[in-house]
Amino acid sequence: MLLFGGVVSLLTVSAALLGAFWTPYNPTAVSAAEKFCPPSLVHLLGTDNFGRDVFSRVLQGMGASLLIAACVVAIGCLLGTAIGCLCGYFGGPADFLLTRLCDVVTAFPSVLLALVVVSLAGRGTVQIVLALGVLFIPSFARLVRGEAARCRDASYIQSARLMGVSHGRILLAHILPNLRGVLVPAIVIGFNNAILSEASMSFLGLGVQPPFPSLGSMLSDSQTYLQRAPWYAFSAGAAIALLILGFSLLGEGLQRRRRA
Amino acid sequence: MRVLEVECLSAWYTQGRTRQPVLQDVTFHLDRGEVLGLVGESGSGKSTLARSILGLHRDWEGRVRHYTPRPQMIFQDPYRSLNPAHTLLWTLTEPLRAAGVPPVQRQERAMALLDRVGLAPELAHRYPQELSGGQRQRVAIAAAVIARPGLVVADEPVSALDVTVQRQILELLMDLKREYGFSCLFISHDLGVIYQICDRVLVMEGGKIVEENDTDALFSAPKHPFTKKLLEAAE
């Protein structure tokens, strides 16, 4: 599972990297003469309603998805880990307050919160990254808080306190390295969720703005032409499925290995 | 020369709104170079006393005076007393870093002590998970004494180990005590171990110290009924 997930992830990531530097056609070049070409050797996955090459758009769309997901997970993981560490280690009223705040954020449906952010800050990639990033903080914070609280009571941390090690160094050098085991699978699974969330946001037209390709918006556009150009919907859907498949298998595999 | 003075120490745990008293008016002192035994049944408050003295348990009142900086503690469970994310070398150099020893000397002192506690130098880059319980406790003792504390509190340091390893660890602790010159508060429920290494003994029952005497005197002529009961049970 770990190996298969790793291979699929590696393939999708390298395809996305390729798409960032080279695509067979310009993914935004419109050509009225080549509308709805079926897949062929000229256009591997056919063309869409504007005559744009679907393969090129999928490659670049995957890159956009991965980049956005990476930023979202980075925000969620960094802030979540910082909050979780401080709460778990120090405890007290601040811990109570922040934990409840995380519960509140989790209680809202993610699409609703993203809609609020977009209606306040406008549409666009940066806005959606920030909105999703904030939504990803609680899951990391909760996970890290539990681990940090467990560490705090361990005798090796009490020894460190007796030695006169500062709280900051205890958090960074004594507790943080112990979080790697829970954080690595959480990051991979979070990455997966971020790809899905970004796709749903773009599907609703809240994410990456046209004409730039995004898997979610491609899937949404292709609905109209499902009968005339089934390859269009299939390509976008399959790309999302491949991304998710790879990272979810990788994440599950890592988590199982940790439990074993 | 005193290393530690404790006067009228009372400690408690808070459960909801009720205070659960654990220690009542505990008074004792510890002299330089002395090994003071603290014996009692489990739940009598021995560990809470140690943790209160060192500031690891907060709910207490009374007076505790330390005459040496940075007392250290050796814990019972060797499987949880070493940081699993770090190598033994790191674990041994960290107390030196905290004590302000210059970086060039840290590694040298750590390697020397690793050898002194009977562990091969190649173990320096291993993680605690790769060691046996006895080996871990050797490292824990080394980490506690490396920065030359004046006082080491040992809370049942050999109770989790099997009997042959117990003897080796006790011998190591006493050898290091002579070399490094620290005083020791040694907590145990095992009277045999106490008899073997302590100069003086405190007997604790229900959060109070019921008898205090030199080891020989205590074992030959116990006064308090609880001490007599403990000695009879051990025979």
- What are the pLDDT digits (tens) for B47-66? 999 999 999 999 999 999 99
Q: Tell me which of B81, B94, B131, B145 to substitute to probe the interface with A (most A C-beta atoms closer than 10 Å).
A: B94
Q: Which two tokens stand for residue B175?
A: 């050898």
DSSP A166-190: -HHHIIIIIIGGGGHHHHHHHHHHH
For residue A66, give the amino acid letter.
L
Q: What is the mean pLDDT of residues A198-212?
A: 84
Given a cut of 80, is residue A216 above it in pLDDT? yes
Q: What is the mean pLDDT of residues A170-177?
A: 96
Query: What's the distance, Cα to Cα, between the start and end of chain B in Å?
Result: 36
pLDDT reported for residue B79: 85
Say yes or no for a CB contact (<8 Å) between A163 and B77: no
What residues 170-199 of chain A have any CB closer than 8 A to a CB of chain B? 173-174, 177-178, 180
Does B224 reside within a domain? yes
Give chain A's length: 260
Cβ–Cβ under 8 Å, residues A217 and A205: yes
pLDDT reported for residue B21: 93
Q: How far apart are CA A226 and CA A55, in angstroms?
A: 17
Distance from the A201 Cα atom to the nearest Cα atom in chain B, whole angstroms: 39
Does B156 reside within a domain? yes
Does B76 reside within a domain? no
Query: What three-state secondary structure class fits A247?
Result: helix
Closest-CA residue to A65 (of A132, A138, A118): A132
Distance from the A184 Cα atom to the nearest Cα atom in chain B, whole angstroms: 15
B65 with B20, same domain: the answer is yes
Q: Tell me which of B83, B92, B139 to substitute to probe the interface with A (most A C-beta atoms closer than 10 Å).
A: B83
Structural domains in chain A? 2-7+46-259 (1.10.3720.10)
Q: Chain B residue closest to A155 (CA)?
A: B81
B63 with B135, same domain: the answer is no
Nearest to B83 among A156, A164, A180 (CB): A156
Q: How far apart are CA A48 and CA A253, in angstroms?
A: 37
B191 with B217, same domain: the answer is yes
Distance from the A254 Cα atom to the nearest Cα atom in chain B, whole angstroms: 18
Q: How far apart are CA B211 and CA B206, in angstroms?
A: 12
Does B77 reside within a domain? no
B91 with B133, same domain: the answer is yes
Does B27 reside within a domain? yes
B154 with B144, same domain: the answer is no
What is the ipTM, given to two decimal places?
A: 0.90
Closest-CA residue to B158 (of B109, B118, B192): B192
Per-residue confidence in pLDDT tens, chain B, 235 aa: 899 999 999 999 988 888 999 999 999 999 999 999 999 988 899 999 999 999 999 999 999 999 998 999 999 988 889 999 999 999 999 999 999 999 999 999 999 999 999 999 999 999 999 999 999 999 999 999 999 999 999 999 998 888 889 999 999 999 999 999 999 999 999 898 999 999 999 999 999 999 999 999 999 999 999 999 999 887 7
B186 with B205, same domain: the answer is yes
Q: How far apart are CA B124 and CA B92, in angstroms?
A: 9
pLDDT reported for residue A244: 92
Say yes or no for a CB contact (<8 Å) between A159 and B56: no
Q: Chain B residue closest to A177 (CA)?
A: B85
B209 with B107, same domain: the answer is no
Q: What is the mean pLDDT of residues A167-176?
A: 96
Number of domains in chain B: 2
Q: How far apart are CA A101 and CA B164, in angstroms?
A: 54
Q: Which residues of A144-153 are buried (b: 16+ CB within 10 A; e: fewer)?
A: bbebbbebbe
Task: Tell me the CATH number at B55.
Answer: 3.40.50.300
Q: Tell me which of A147, A162, A171, A175 to substitute to probe the interface with B (most B C-beta atoms closer than 10 Å).
A: A162
Q: Which chain B residues contact residue A162 at CB under 8 A?
A: 54, 56, 70-73
CB pairs under 8 A between A and B: 52
Say yes or no for a CB contact (<8 Å) between A156 and B80: yes
Cis status, amide bond into B149, omega within 30 of 0: no
Given a cut of 90, is residue A83 above it in pLDDT? yes
pLDDT reported for residue A23: 83
Nearest to A165 among B71, B77, B98 (CB): B98
B142 with B213, same domain: the answer is no
Q: Which residue range is the domain that position B106 belongs to?
A: 82-148
pLDDT reported for residue B93: 97
Cβ–Cβ under 8 Å, residues A237 and A226: no
B59 with B166, same domain: the answer is yes
The mean of the pLDDT values for chain A is 88
Comparison of pLDDT for A152 and A34, the residue scoring more: A152
| Alpha-helical segments (H) within A91-229 | 92-107, 110-121, 125-152, 155-163, 167-169, 180-203, 215-222
Query: What's the distance, Cα to Cα, between the start and end of chain A in Å?
Result: 14
DSSP chain B: -EEEEEEEEEEEEEETTEEEEEEEEEEEEEETT-EEEEEE-TTSSHHHHHHHHTTSS--EEEEEEESSSS-EEE-S-TTTSS-TTS-HHHHHHHHHHHTT--HHHHHHHHHHHHHHTT--GGGGGS-GGGS-HHHHHHHHHHHHHTT--SEEEEESTTTTS-HHHHHHHHHHHHHHHHHH--EEEEEES-HHHHHHH-SEEEEEETTEEEEEEEHHHHHHS--SHHHHHHHHHH-
The answer, for A258 touching chain B at a CB cutoff of 8 Å, is no
Comparison of pLDDT for B235 and A244, the residue scoring more: A244
Burial status of residue B43 (CB atoms within 10 A of its CB: 0-12, 13-18, 19 or more): exposed
Does B195 reside within a domain? yes
B112 with B156, same domain: the answer is no
Q: What is the mean pLDDT of residues A229-249?
A: 90
Give the tens place of pLDDT for each residue, B99-139. 999 999 999 999 999 999 999 999 999 999 999 999 999 99
B184 with B197, same domain: the answer is yes
Q: How far apart are CA B230 and CA A1, in angstroms?
A: 58
pTM of the model: 0.85
Q: Which chain B residues contact residue A164 at CB under 8 A?
A: 70, 98-99
Does B162 reside within a domain? yes
B104 with B61, same domain: the answer is no
Q: Which chain A residues contact residue B95 at CB under 8 A?
A: 163
Q: Which two tokens stand for residue A151?
A: 């560490």
